[in-house]
Amino acid sequence: MGQYFRLAAPRAREALSGGHKLGEILFNTSPTVLVYLLAVPVQPKKRLAASEVVTKALKTPTALQSGGLASSSKQDGAISSAKRKADTEEQLDFSLRNGKQAKTEATHTPATFCALPRELHELIFGFVKRLKDLACFGLTNTYFWNISHEIIQHRFASELGTWAGKQIVNVGDYTAPGDYPPGLFSPEEEKYLTNKQFQYCDGAGEQHLTPLTLYHLTESSNFEMVEAKEISTQSTRLLGGLMMRCQNSPTDSRIVRSRSKEIIHANDSAFLPRDQAWILRNLTTKEFVTAIGIALDAKYIDGPFIGCIGFGEVVMSRICWSSDPSISMRYTGEIWRGVWAGHRFDITTVSRHEESTKNEKWTDVSKEVAAEIAAIWESEYGADWRNIFAH
């Protein structure tokens, strides 16, 4: 059958679902998932200053309609006026029934939701969990859209780089009990895990106990199966959900379409800018790999994404861990005892790296890594492997 490998962040109790033979996943596009998991996004800029208050924007509302998303400015003004009148009438009625407070309450109109400062609106909007609800709320007028759009952008950004800074490993299912990458667990933790048992079912449905391995750990019920999320897919899904919600209202549908370019991200460039230089960092060893140092050609570099062979392939080829050399590859090096297994990584921009590591010593290992990658690919595809992949 061969050995199957699974990407995991054991200390975070997270893993990617399913297992695959190393020789099958290393040479296709599968390693790209690591770019999404390790790339630290650039936070989108704010559209408005936090000190800006609601009254300025509410002078020119774009939408507000009972039971929907939109209405004219005239309708919006009428609703606001009616609400103020109702608030006053309610206050006067209450004052008549409470004579001692009548004078005070008649001169202090209760604050409406729209009159709250932006900081409170941001706080309230932040509690809205579903993106569709948040977007619909924001589409009621330009001011609220600026707030909700900003929060949606940050929510999208939070889906990227979720494994940045976490210890990760590509563990094989032939790993023996007690065999862990150096530094992944403390001696006390290793001792505890070595004494644990793993329960599994055989083909006949019979339950058995076996000594726990690192691979078993990634299959346990307290591990969360995660996935890399592309913002383009997420944003397209959001727009589709909004259009479905507004399908019975031509006016509301028109408002959603008018904001579609702000909702949809054709790619992730707003968060992972392509016009900046990116590097892969091993945070454990303080080593880094540059894009130009491993790319087959500079033309293949697209921000943190590199065509043919990129940061994902580098990480995957160096974090494998198993007790058995079965890797479904021709390569004879000890890739199955990865020198970076259990280490912490991120993919960040060169400018952020330089700013955050002043006076720190970091080592550029691009040449060493590129030579290792070349040896792996040449063993699999022959001396002409560069031309094969370049075309």
Within 10 angstroms of residue 349's Cβ, the number of other Cβ atoms is: 19
Q: What is the pLDDT of residue 64?
A: 36
Select the more confidently predicted residue: 239 or 91.
239
The whole-number average pLDDT for the span 178-188 is 97
The whole-number average pLDDT for the span 299-320 is 97
**Is 169 found in the same domain as 155?**
no
**Is 303 found in the same domain as 358?**
yes
**Is 317 found in the same domain as 176?**
yes
Phi, psi of 224, deg, nearest 5: -95, 130
Please say whether the beta carbons of 321 and 185 come within 8 A.
Answer: no
The answer to the question of residue 52 being in a domain is: no
pTM of the full predicted structure? 0.81
**Is 330 found in the same domain as 281?**
yes
The whole-number average pLDDT for the span 43-47 is 66
Q: What is the pLDDT of residue 109?
A: 65
**Is 258 found in the same domain as 179?**
no
Q: Is the pLDDT of residue 71 over 90?
A: no
The answer to the question of residue 98 being in a domain is: no
The answer to the question of residue 81 being in a domain is: no
Within 10 angstroms of residue 272's Cβ, the number of other Cβ atoms is: 25
Query: 137-149 pLDDT, tens per residue?
Result: 999 999 999 999 9
Q: Is the pLDDT of residue 103 over 80?
A: no
**Is 314 found in the same domain as 384?**
yes
**Is 154 found in the same domain as 9?**
no
The answer to the question of residue 53 being in a domain is: no
The answer to the question of residue 100 being in a domain is: no
- Residue range(s) defining the domain that contains residue 11: 4-41+163-222+272-389
**Is 307 found in the same domain as 210?**
yes
Q: What is the pLDDT of residue 46?
A: 60
**Is 334 found in the same domain as 370?**
yes
- Terminal Cα-to-Cα distance of the chain (whole angstroms): 32
Domain count, the chain: 2
Token output for 297: 């050609």
Q: Is the pLDDT of residue 106 over 70?
A: no
For the CA atoms of 364, 370, 375, 379, what is the dihedral angle to 10 degrees? 150
The answer to the question of residue 104 being in a domain is: no
Token output for 375: 């040896």
Q: What is the pLDDT of residue 60?
A: 40
Identify the band that residue 288 occupies on the pLDDT scale cut at 50, 70 and 90: very high
> Left, alpha or beta for 342 (phi > 0: left; psi -120 to 50: alpha)?
left
Q: Is the pLDDT of residue 72 over 50?
A: no
**Is 255 found in the same domain as 379?**
no
Provide, rounded to the nearest whole percent, the portion of the chain with pLDDT above 70: 83
268-272, 276-280, 337-341, range with the lowest pLDDT: 268-272
Average pLDDT, the chain: 85
48-52, 91-95, 263-267, 376-380, range with the lowest pLDDT: 91-95
The answer to the question of residue 380 being in a domain is: yes
**Is 27 found in the same domain as 145?**
no
**Is 147 found in the same domain as 24?**
no
Within 10 angstroms of residue 59's Cβ, the number of other Cβ atoms is: 10
The answer to the question of residue 336 being in a domain is: yes
Q: Which of 287, 305, 307, 289 is nearest to 297 (CA)?
A: 307
Q: Is the pLDDT of residue 91 over 70?
A: no
Q: Is the pLDDT of residue 58 over 60?
A: no
Select the more confidently predicted residue: 105 or 338.
338
